[in-house]
Amino acid sequence: MFDEALISKTQRFLESAEAQGVRVICAESCTGGLLGALLTHSAGASAVMEASLVTYSNEAKAALLGVKPSMLARHGAVSPLVAKAMAEGALERSPEAALSVSITGIAGPDGGTEHKPVGLVHFACAARARETVQLEKRFGEIGRTEVRIKSAEAALNMLSDGLDRLRG
């Protein structure tokens, strides 16, 4: 499922995070655990990976990550505010992680609207004592699997950037 370039990029991230003593936690929705699978594909991932919470439903986002139901009702699960709340909620609930990332979007092929089309994905990366960074990607209707893989890669890039923020 993962190409060699993505696996190599992931291994470099894991090596850097381990060298810095940084553990991570993920909050995933539309990727359904794909980022967690990518991060744990390589041996030794347990030195870095604390958890990946698949919070696919709004109820899970509220119960496991502390996303306010009123926020979900007002903005929808696919929104920058919810992505930020997911990343910050995961980090707050983590006993050891210094870095978190969240992914929430519409992988398709159904579920898109004029304002929230298929392929729209929101990300957030939270680091202890740092401002949360957010990202929006519009992958388009490239197919469910491709949206999920590209989302996992974008989240990995955010984690790599988060390592740099923790260093600096």
Contacts of 82 (CB under 8 A, 6+ apart): 61, 67, 71, 72, 75, 76, 104, 122
Amino acid 168: pLDDT: 76
pTM of the model: 0.97
Q: What does the pLDDT look like over 55-103, one tens digit per residue?
A: 999 999 999 999 999 999 999 999 999 999 999 999 999 999 999 999 9
Transcribe 51-68 into DSSP letters. EEEE--SHHHHHHHH---
* Domains delineated in the chain: 27-167 (3.90.950.20)
> Taking 80 as the threshold, does the pLDDT of residue 54 lie above it?
yes
Q: What does the pLDDT look like over 92-133, one tens digit per residue?
A: 999 999 999 999 999 999 999 999 999 999 999 999 989 999
Amino acid 6: pLDDT: 96
